[in-house]
Amino acid sequence: MNKEIDGLKEGYWEDYYGNGQLWSKGNYINGAKYGYWELYYFTGQLMSKGNYINDNPDGYWEYYHTDGQLKYKGNYANGKECGYWEEYYSNGQLESKGNYVNGNPDGYWEEYHSNGQLMGKQYYII
């Protein structure tokens, strides 16, 4: 665990905050993040989880509020948001939903009030 080869991180690593809480855990190949990773808040609560390819988020990711409620969920390709994403308030209500193309909002996005009522719709053109 936590080894370097020729000055580059290699294999499974865990990093910690100064208070001893786990900050992140996952694998490196030639100094770049690869595979499944988890990142944590200073309090020890899970912040996010998903996969990396060559230091870039790739595939499905979830992000959490500090209280553990889901904050965002969606996919990445080449380190940029792609496809369908949802964002949630800390009370669990849907805040917004829509699609990304190459990291940019695309098409219709819906936004909601924290009580779940539709706030409005926007249409994005890349």
Q: Return the pLDDT at 80.
A: 97
pLDDT top residue among 23 and 2: 23
Give the rounded percent of residues in the chain with a pLDDT score beyond 70: 100
Q: What is the pLDDT of residue 10?
A: 95
Cα distances from 125 to residues 31, 96, 114, in angstroms, run 37, 17, 26
Res. 3: pLDDT tops 90: no
- The domain that contains 122 carries what CATH number? 2.20.110.10
Q: What is the pLDDT of residues 62-77, one digit of tens each?
A: 999 999 999 999 999 9
Six-digit token string for 113: 């009030």
The verdict on 73 and 47 lying in the same domain is: no
Kindly tell me if the per-residue pLDDT of 1 is higher than 80.
Answer: no
Total structural domains in the chain? 2
Do 73 and 123 have their domain in common? yes
Same domain as 125, residue 105: yes
Burial (0-12, 13-18, 19+ Cβ within 10 Å), 99: middle
Q: Do strands 46-53 and 94-101 pair parallel, antiparallel, or not at all (unpaired)?
A: unpaired
0.75 cut: is pTM over it?
Answer: yes
Provide the domain limits for residue 21.
1-53
Terminal Cα distance for the chain, rounded: 44
